[in-house]
């Protein structure tokens, strides 16, 4: 990148208002938002064409989750730094993102100035996450190395994404889709999508069976 070339950023988020707010927050002479996508399919088509320097990716997308999309994009965009930009501060989502190749993990409560600093830092090779999150990642990786596996006894539970694990945990606690949506800051439709994926991965027919698997499959 030459000194005169702006940092090329692409946004992937299913909410138009969020994309607009992020785009506005990134208005700066040295930063250019070159493209946006609202779905995984759009991102898979557009990102390889645009080849942005940085791709800001939400975890919650319609039809799939951002972590799955991240795993698909990483090998297709070897020169792009993919950073999660999400409302989720789940340690599981954070660890999954790093393991899947994310170059950073930012939350949407950042100020515009902080987001610009993060984007500039990413392009310079800095880690795009808070010190607390970086410490969480190190602890999780160290704990996983000591155990040799996660704390999930059932391998089918281990196949769930971080968000799916959160949804299933709340489901096992007896929460409704609407209550789970409010707790996680996502739509009830997104919760339904996650539940469908959970049932498929666990090989069960209904939510009650999924909840039972969750309770039985966790070690103390």
pLDDT tens sequence across 46-80: 999 999 999 999 988 887 788 889 989 988 998 99
Q: What is the pLDDT of residues 127-184, one digit of tens each?
A: 788 777 777 766 665 555 444 444 555 677 877 877 888 889 888 888 888 888 888 7
Nearest Cα to 80, choosing from 105, 48, 35?
A: 48
Residue 31, beta-bridge partner list: 7, 28
Q: What is the pLDDT of residues 187-203, one digit of tens each?
A: 888 888 889 889 988 88
E strand or H helix that includes residue 34: strand 31-37
């Amino acid at each position: 990148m030459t000194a005169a070339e702006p940092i090329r950023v692409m946004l992937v988020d299913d909410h138009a208002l969020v994309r607009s707010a992020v785009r506005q927050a990134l208005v700066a002479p040295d930063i250019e938002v070159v493209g946006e996508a609202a779905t995984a399919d759009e991102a898979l088509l557009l990102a390889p064409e645009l080849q942005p320097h940085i791709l800001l990716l939400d975890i919650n997308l319609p039809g799939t989750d951002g972590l799955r999309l991240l795993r698909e994009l990483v090998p297709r965009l070897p020169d792009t730094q993919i950073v999660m930009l999400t409302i989720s501060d789940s340690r599981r989502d954070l660890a999954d993102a790093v393991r899947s190749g994310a170059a950073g993990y930012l939350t949407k409560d950042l100020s515009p100035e902080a987001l610009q600093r993060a984007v500039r830092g990413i392009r310079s090779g800095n880690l795009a996450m808070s010190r607390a999150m970086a410490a969480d990642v190190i602890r999780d990786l160290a704990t996983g190395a000591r155990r040799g596996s996660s704390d999930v006894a059932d391998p089918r539970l281990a196949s769930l994404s971080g968000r799916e694990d959160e949804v299933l945990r709340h489901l096992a606690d007896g929460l409704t889709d609407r209550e789970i949506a409010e707790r996680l800051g996502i739509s009830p439709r997104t919760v339904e999508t996650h539940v469908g994926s959970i049932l498929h991965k666990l090989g069960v027919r209904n939510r009650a069976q999924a909840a039972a698997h969750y309770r039985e499959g966790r070690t103390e």
